[in-house]
Structure 1
Amino acid sequence: MRVVQIKLLILSAILSVSSMQSARAAEKEVKNASHDEHHVHAGHSGHDHTRPDSHAPIGVSGDHLMRKGEIMLSYRYMSMAMDGNRIGTDSVSTPLAGYMVSPLSMDMEMHMLGGMYAVSDKLTLMAMLPYTSISMDHRVNMSGAEFTTESGGIGDIRLASTYGLYAEPGTDLLFNFAINIPTGSIDEEDNTTGSSEVHLPYPMQLGSGT
């Protein structure tokens, strides 16, 4: 009986050691797999996509590369409201001396559709299409009559690319190149104080013309 008990104890100890070794091996495999996955995420650049702060705010573009084949779509809404007139930092009363018409306020809304596509791990392409609505309130200096001019439509399309020049963990050196295609109108017209439409000033135009 003692011999049998000793053999059972030895067998139990062997099984226990074997079980511990298997558990350690499994734990090591999990760690290696996690490390490999992290390497896949950050291997093509110094950018770590697994971090919650891996992307810059939506207003900042060209801050990182995407992995080959990835597609990203975005929508941005921007609003701007201006009121009153200034010369430098000094407020100017209305009506403006020497002018027939004085601007009172101007509101602008922009809807921006964007798309990004990674041609490779080192090259990401981007395109942005804006739709802009602008309105401006005016006052005729002599009569005090007020009127509003409006314009709206597609603005200038922006095409850009980001190329990775150098990368190591935590560091990226990127080259950004962008061009604007003058698709926005520079011939917007509207009624002012007369019955016929006139060419609106530059701030009311949808494109840059260049």
Structure 2
Amino acid sequence: MADSESREPYSESIDARLGVIWIGRSHVEQFLRETLQDDSIAVTHSVDTGWSVHGGRRGGNMATATWGTPQMCAEDIAQLLLQQRPIRVGDDRFGLDGPATAAAQQKANELNVRFSEWAWEDPERGAELARQYNELFNIEPTPHSYEGVEISMSTVVPLSKPDPQMIEAAKAALTAAHAFPGRPTSRRNSSQQELGAPPPGVARPADRGVER
């Protein structure tokens, strides 16, 4: 079976990023270990304490050059992304370090882009993540069909007999308009993307992580 046929519905349109509530701890930990080539990294998550990234070779090249900066290592960047906190370098005493902050933000963007690719690279993992998303947000296609439904156009053209082609066109338009009312897309506003929330019109569950 082709990969596209084995995937859960809409997997390619789901925005997978670090910190969304429907991706569990084990997947995040696996991603960081593989990407940073460091099996000493540990990720924890709980409702009470939130996300934390522990361990790792924080002074190594992967952490401070490839996926991080000398001022903010990749593990710290990942933790801020998971916690959905701003990426900033500096402190209250000396103020914001603009260039260092910009560099760290660029690495954060690269790490998130890599995670969004990694999530779907393995078909089995992709199917599991898509299933978790669809189950959590209860997103299923609910196509409507108007075949066999008699559509009256008397209120529109009360004194003339409706053209059969007009009736069929109306049925087709109604079917298309209701084909996938809950389909998620990547074109959502920034606040929805940060939370990994479903598109408008789909109820959002309680803010809890998927513990795995």
Question: Structure 2-normalised TM-score?
Answer: 0.20
Q: Which structure dedicates a bigger proportion of its chain to strand?
A: 1
Q: Which structure dedicates a bigger proportion of its chain to helix?
A: 2
Larger RCO, structures 1/2 (Cα 8 Å, 6+ apart): 2
Question: Structure 1-normalised TM-score?
Answer: 0.21
Larger Rg belongs to: 1
